[in-house]
Amino acid sequence: MAAPHRHATMQSMSNGGISSGSDRPQQHSQLSQQSPGLRVPSNRKTIYDRHLNRTRTAELSRASFAFLFGEMVTYAQRRVTGIQDLEKRLNEQGYPLGLRLLDLLFYRSTSTSSSALSSSSTSSSPPNRPLRIITLLHLIHGPLWRLLFGRAADALEHSVSPDTPNEYMITDNDPMVNTYVSAPRDMSMLNCAAYVAGIIEGVCDGCGFETKVSAHNQPTELWPSRTVFLVRFGDPVMEREKVLERAGVK
């Protein structure tokens, strides 16, 4: 049933591809093939015509990001019940970005010869999906941070407490999102890097690691906006981790 229809689609495709100056009736049939809701930009370039690797010329100013992020925080602040609610909303804004970045990160590292993920995987050309917690955390600490902020994160630690072996900490001494943010005194617990925590959560979840990530202020004399991202893996992840360890999966 489906075959004749596909056939027709492909026919019109090849006509359009071979010569742009094809006969009028053919063009007409091609137009009628397009779904009525599809609108193409005037330069005929859809997102599929764009390159995913052009980053040099596509850099954004930090100021525009700061204003955008400021508006995002303001937006998230509407009708919130408290600091936790606000952080949750910021987290939710970051989560889908994490999912997207994951695919983009791997795409960029496969298509460029110098693998950006080389620190996380020993094998050379095709980067591997992270299967173990440590690989995943290295991916976040290094390549992901570089993709987002142009540098690696400052520290990666495992919880020393035997009660919480599922807790890991990623530290950023000066999170870019917080550069211009000063929380009011009555909200001193708030850390807007909850947005970044959401990104991390999205990345972990996308890779199949159920996680809760939260951002915490840990200021020091030198780094007043130092932030620790607490990554807490769920029990199923820890169980799988044990199984994979026994199986010798790297």
Partner 1 sequence: MPSNPRGVFSLIIINKAGGLIYQREFQSGLRNLSTNDYLVLAGTFHGVHAITRSITPKIPIAQPAPSTTSTGTAAPAASGYSYPNPGVPVSGLDYLETDKFRLTCFQTLTGTKFLLFTDPLTGGVDAIIQRIYELYADYVMKNPFYQIEMPVRCEAFDRHLGAWLRGRT
Partner 2 sequence: MGATSKPAILSSSAMFGSMSTLNNPNLLKMSYYFTILSPTDTPLFNIAFGTSKGGGDGIARFRFPETAQYMNQFIIHSSLDILEEAQWTNGGMYLKHIDTYPPAAAYITAFLTPSGARFLLLHQPPHLPSSTSTSGSIGSSSLLGTAGSTTRASSSSIAANPTSPQTEEAVRQFMNEVYESYVKTAMSPFYKQGMEIKSPVFRSRITAAGKKWL
CA distances from 211 to 103, 229, 230 (A): 18, 12, 10
> Is residue 121 a contact residue for partner 2 (CB under 8 A)?
yes
Stretch of residues binding partner 2 (CB under 8 A), selected from 64-72, 127-135, 186-194, 213-221: 127-135
Token representation of residue 97: 């970005």
Burial of 202 (0-12, 13-18, 19+ CB in 10 A): buried
CB of 172 to partner 1, least distance (A): 16
Which one of residues 17, 21, 25, 41 is an interface residue with partner 2 (CB under 8 A)? Answer: 17
Closer to partner 2 by Cβ: residue 104 or 155: 104
Q: How far apart are CA 118 and CA 196, in angstroms?
A: 23
> Is residue 55 a contact residue for partner 2 (CB under 8 A)?
no
CB of 18 to partner 1, least distance (A): 53
Q: Do the bridges between strand 167-172 and strand 211-217 make them parallel or antiparallel, or are there none, so unpaired?
A: unpaired
CB of 201 to partner 2, least distance (A): 13
Which one of partner 1, partner 2, none is in contact with 181 (Cβ closer than 5 to 8 A by kind)?
A: partner 1
> Is residue 103 a contact residue for partner 2 (CB under 8 A)?
yes
Q: For CA atoms 134, 165, 160, 248, give the dihedral sign.
A: negative
C-alpha 169: how far from chain center: 18
Stretch of residues binding partner 2 (CB under 8 A), selected from 27-35, 76-84, 179-187, 212-220: 27-35
